[in-house]
Amino acid sequence: MDDFIARIEKIYPPEQVETLKQVYAFAQDAHKDQRRASGEPYIVHPLSVANILLDLGMDVDAISAGLLHDVIEDTQYEYEDIAQRFGNTVAMLVEGVSKLDKLNFHSRQVMQAENLRKMLLAMSKDIRIILIKLADRLHNMRTLGFKREEKQQQTANETLEIYAPLAGRLGIFRIKWELEDLCLFYLDHDAYEEISQKVAMKRQEREESVSRVIAEVEARVKQLGIHAEINGRPKHFYSIYKKMKNQNKPFDQIFDLTAIRVIVDTIQDCYTVLGTVHTLYKPIPGRFKDYIATPKPNMYQSLHSTLIDSHGVPFEIQIRTFEMHRAAEYGIAAHWKYKEGRSDSNDLDEKLAWLRRLLDWQKDMADASEFIDTFKIDLFNDEVFCFTPKGDVINLPKEATPLDFAYYIHSAVGNRCTGARVNGRIVPLDYAIKTGDVVEIITSASSHGPSRDWLKIAKTSQARSKIRQWFKKEFKDENIVHGRDMLDKEAKRLGYTLGQLERKEAVEAALQKFSLNSLEDMYAAVGFGGLTTNQVLTRLIAEYKQAHKEERIAAQVAAAEKEGQQSSQSGGAKQPQAERLKDSHGVIVKGEADMLVRFAQCCNPVPGDDIVGYITRGRGVSIHRTDCTNVASFYGEPERLVEVSWADSPKVSGYHAEVQIISADRPRLLADVTNAISDMKMQIVAINAHMSKNQTTMINITVEITDTEQLEKMLKQLRKIPEVLEAFRTSA
């Protein structure tokens, strides 16, 4: 804490320092009863995140949000609490960083896609959100060793696939490189150790070679009267690892382990220095890249060249201006670091144009799998630089095709494309464009437009989106017919007819889900590829099953009532048909009087649950949750099912609910769980715990509660306990 205070006092004015002290005190109090997997107080994590943001030179609002980024998710405080104390901007940043609420996604892939979508939307509102998220992920990776191996692999994979490339896409290479090295440590530890040891063994030899080259370049640059900073930077381990994999070479055959960096004042100086080093050393053909004339999509600018020194040792040299160097080190964060917190909005908008394009294109993507795939292709793959016949430079993702090139130029060029020439030679439309290719698109005014197969050929979401738009506009009638046929065929394969599934309520629910206006629009969306048959039928079948279940229960209750009426007319005492409140149980039994009511122990219903009654032999009415597995067996005796409901009576405790907690094993876990329940003034009836095969702890607890609302509050608190993976009510 003292180091943090000392740092901010050197950077910010006194009033902002005081604000950050107040934020820290609030965060420390909010997390006071929590600990990390390492055993450290939880506040160590948000403080570390804030320090990483300080390294990036972020503003006070971002630093505050870094200190508070887990408060909404992991403590009792809400958005309004933060907004009231520290302002709406800080609260918005904290909320943006918070993870998705625990929703019932169909798969991990769907959950990942929804997280990506939320992250992109948050970034479009304020780029600081993703910078805080990157700082959060970096510290979590630094401390990943305290997690179990399965969690380490899962987190490292996600980081390598999403967060490290995203840091690169934003130009924050210092975070990208550290994340990649940490991921390698956990995903291929043997390779990490091999590279680490061999790099250390060659360090003296490498440093001598680098020092020699630096001295030679410094002397020549000084003769030219150019002000320059020259230093050597060792390649990070993951970069060496990728070269070994891509080139299929052992470590001993990877030579350029160090990059020499020359930083100068002007662009003219960059090219002057380049010419000088090319006269001093032999350049390797094909290894020169001019990112000043053609910046990377993340606006990275530099001259790169690989050369061979006088001793025959290859090395890479990077030449850039001081401004380019700041952008390369801090990326998008440089807007705050070097402009005293006031970013140039026009420049920032230009640099984030790719993000807004992606947000537009993702709306047309059919499912989670496609979204994740195109997200990675568009943002994270290496680029290829190709040329138009006029010499204009176009950069596309690696493995992009002539179709991607055509739609990059203009949608009209793509729609009228009939073929392509690369370097003067006719190539198929699925040809993978390479750096240096001259690409010419062959068009025809009489072209009939895109083929549906193009959706499988195009790699970028821009091209796919424009192809879908064409089908949507040009062939709506055909799309309607084609989409309905596709749905009908798939429904029959699943054992349904489309007529069965297209009930009014089901269709309305599906249209609302997919933001469509009519059934024909839904057919058309399936026809042109905007929706998949699986998406639509999953929704319709779920609605069908729910409606069918409700109809069966209604029919069974009606049959029971009819039998009761017939029984009373045949001589039995007439029973009142009005709803009747049953004693202290708080349950209304329709159509029955003076019957014993008891709650089934198989599912333990509580106020707030959907319930159904079952007339037992000699034991009154047994109350079950409608989702109880035993209810299905009652359908064979529909006359014994009876409608029941909860009475609007005062809340009383005494209802039992069983919950299960899944957690990574750690000391004091059981104590933290019982304390959390006790703090809510709730009574524990029974508890047991055991270790599963995958080394997770399973805790089963029965508690006394008043209703489902109290149960949900308890589950929320349990999920906030460190190392708890999930807490849920056990199904019947």
Mean pLDDT (whole number) for 604-616: 85
Residue 410 · residue 400 · CB < 8 Å: no
Model confidence over 403-428: pLDDT tens digits? 999 999 998 999 999 999 998 899 99
Residue 479 has pLDDT above 50, yes or no: yes
Least confident among 140-144, 180-184, 330-334, 570-574:
570-574
pLDDT at res. 135: 94
Tokens 């948050």 found at: 122
Residues 326, 232: one domain? yes
Which residue range(s) make up the domain with 305?
A: 202-343
Residue 211 has pLDDT above 70, yes or no: yes
- Residue 576 or residue 250, greater confidence: 250
Residue 565 domain-assigned? no
Report which listed range, 123-137, 360-374, 650-664, is most confident: 123-137
pLDDT at res. 97: 81
Closest CA to 405 of 370, 380, 432: 432
pLDDT at res. 357: 54
Residues 160, 30: one domain? yes
Residues 592, 684: one domain? no
pLDDT band at 105 (very low <50, low <70, confident <90, very high): very low
Least confident among 71-80, 543-552, 581-590:
581-590
Closest CA to 367 of 599, 534, 167, 573: 534
Residue 240 belongs to domain with CATH number = 3.30.460.10
Judge residue 264's burial from the number of C-beta atoms within 10 Å of its C-beta, 0-12 exposed, 13-18 middle, 19 or more buried: buried
Residue 564 domain-assigned? no
Residues 23, 142: one domain? yes
Residues 416, 389: one domain? yes
Judge residue 75's burial from the number of C-beta atoms within 10 Å of its C-beta, 0-12 exposed, 13-18 middle, 19 or more buried: buried
Please provide the DSSP assignment of 100-120 as one string. PP----SSHHHHHHHHHHHHH
Residue 561 domain-assigned? no
pLDDT band at 724 (very low <50, low <70, confident <90, very high): confident
- Residue 414 or residue 664, greater confidence: 414
Mean pLDDT (whole number) for 308-319: 86
Show the 3-state SS of 270-290: HHHHHHHHHHHCEEEEEEEEE
Residue 583 has pLDDT above 50, yes or no: no
pLDDT band at 132 (very low <50, low <70, confident <90, very high): very high
187, 214, 247 - which closes a domain: 187
User: CA–CA separation, 729 vs 657, rounded Å?
Assistant: 7
Residues 177, 219: one domain? no
Residues 642, 672: one domain? no
Least confident among 111-120, 300-309, 568-577, 721-730:
568-577
Residue 281 domain-assigned? yes
pLDDT at res. 348: 52
Residue 366 belongs to domain with CATH number = 3.10.20.30
Residues 465, 479: one domain? no
Residue 537 · residue 523 · CB < 8 Å: no
pTM exceeds 0.75: no
pLDDT band at 562 (very low <50, low <70, confident <90, very high): low
Least confident among 108-122, 324-338, 625-639:
108-122
Model confidence over 236-283: pLDDT tens digits? 889 889 888 877 888 877 766 778 999 999 999 999 999 999 999 998
Residue 348 domain-assigned? no
Q: Are strands 383-387 and 587-589 parallel, antiparallel or unpaired?
A: unpaired
User: CA–CA separation, 279 vs 356, rounded Å?
Assistant: 44
Angstrom CA distances, 373 to 47, 109, 365, 454, 623, stand at 35, 11, 10, 16, 48
User: CA–CA separation, 663 vs 686, rounded Å?
Assistant: 18
pLDDT band at 186 (very low <50, low <70, confident <90, very high): very high
pLDDT band at 340 (very low <50, low <70, confident <90, very high): very low
Model confidence over 597-607: pLDDT tens digits? 778 877 888 88
The percent of residues above 70 in pLDDT, for the chain, comes to: 80
pLDDT at res. 269: 93
Q: Based on the structure, what is the number of domains in the chain?
A: 6
Residue 568 domain-assigned? no
Residues 228, 335: one domain? yes
Mean pLDDT (whole number) for 470-481: 78
Angle at 180 between CA 176 and CA 185, to 5 degrees: 150
pLDDT at res. 21: 94
Residues 481, 501: one domain? yes
Residues 179, 262: one domain? no
Least confident among 153-162, 291-300, 305-314:
291-300
Least confident among 115-124, 208-217, 322-331:
115-124
Residues 161, 266: one domain? no
Please provide the DSSP assignment of 333-399 as one string. GHHHHTTTT---HHHHHHHTHHHHHHHHHHTT--SHHHHHHHHHHHHHSPEEEEE-TT--EEEEETT
pLDDT band at 23 (very low <50, low <70, confident <90, very high): very high
First to last CA, the chain: 49
Residue 557 domain-assigned? no
Residue 49 · residue 5 · CB < 8 Å: no
Angle at 657 between CA 654 and CA 661, to 5 degrees: 140
Residue 656 · residue 685 · CB < 8 Å: yes
Dihedrals phi, psi of 540, to nearest 5 degrees: -65, -40
Catalytic residues: 73-74
299, 318, 343 - which closes a domain: 343
Mean predicted lDDT score pLDDT of the chain: 80
Residue 420 domain-assigned? yes
Dihedrals phi, psi of 35, to nearest 5 degrees: -135, 155
Residue 706 belongs to domain with CATH number = 3.30.70.260
Residue 590 has pLDDT above 80, yes or no: no
Q: How many CB atoms lie within 10 A of CB 303?
A: 22
The percent of residues above 90 in pLDDT, for the chain, comes to: 24
187, 211, 226 - which closes a domain: 187
Residue 646 has pLDDT above 60, yes or no: yes
- Residue 256 or residue 38, greater confidence: 38
pLDDT band at 580 (very low <50, low <70, confident <90, very high): very low
Model confidence over 434-454: pLDDT tens digits? 877 899 999 988 888 898 889
pLDDT at res. 366: 45
pLDDT at res. 39: 85
Residue 97 belongs to domain with CATH number = 1.10.3210.10
Dihedrals phi, psi of 533, to nearest 5 degrees: -60, -35
User: CA–CA separation, 594 vs 586, rounded Å?
Assistant: 14
